[in-house]
Amino acid sequence: MIVISMRMTRHVYPGGSEEKRDALAHDWWRFLHTALPGVPVLPMPNIGGRAVALLHELPIRCLVLSGGDDWGVFPERDATERELVLWAERMSIPVLGVCRGAQVLNRIRGGRIRSGFDESHVGTHHSIRVEACPHGHWPPELEVNSYHACGISAEDLAPGLNAWATAEDGSVEAFSSPDGKQVGIMWHPERETVAREHDMHLFQHLNRVAS
């Protein structure tokens, strides 16, 4: 079973009252069904430390931190994902962070996030260079989608994390922990119309290495 975090939204009703909601793009269901057919997927509500209590009796093999709102916008989500990552570390469960999720992993391990990335990273596609990827054979250069105004410069990567893909401006596009069980990527596999082989292989690899 895979656990995936959800973004939060704020709905304002006529009259000014508002309601916070958890949400997950349907693109994720399509991608995960293609990459890992038959593997159950559990979306996790943003309920802070109580989220971990829901997982103790479940056969969780991998945690996915999805993209969406920036850190600090919804403290409930920040707290939930922090607790999930710390739990996964204790349980030796692989974690894959996607866009915001990669930034969360970097932040929790002591790195920093920079804002103000230019238009080459916002709502576009760009090339990345892949070097020494520890998760199977990848081509040396790829084109990926990009939707982030916040990102990770090389000097802001947390101690112990190893960058294995970078953009033309030198910013980090993918990294892994020394044991390979925490991986961050800055593109969105689920937003491609057709699932790409290297993205599916990455999810399949993490599902295999789960202890």
pLDDT tens digits, residue range 125-140?
889 999 988 888 889 9
In whole angstroms, what is the distance from residue 66 CA to residue 5 CA? 6
Q: What is the largest CA-CA distance in the chain?
A: 55
CATH class of domain segment(s) 2-209: alpha beta
The full set of domain ranges for the chain reads: 2-209
Q: Check residue 116 and give its pLDDT.
A: 66
Q: Is the pLDDT of residue 26 over 70?
A: yes
Q: Check residue 133 and give its pLDDT.
A: 86
Q: Check residue 20 and give its pLDDT.
A: 95
Give me Rg for the CA atoms of the chain: 16
Q: Which amino acid is at 66?
A: S
pLDDT digits (tens, 9 = 90+) for 30-80: 999 999 999 999 999 999 989 999 898 899 999 999 999 899 999 999 999
Q: Check residue 119 and give its pLDDT.
A: 65
Paired residues of 9 in beta bridges: 21
In whole angstroms, what is the distance from residue 186 CA to residue 104 CA? 11
pLDDT digits (tens, 9 = 90+) for 85-111: 999 999 999 999 999 999 999 999 999
Q: Mean pLDDT over all residues of the chain? A: 92
Q: Check residue 147 and give its pLDDT.
A: 86
Name the token pair of 141: 């250069």
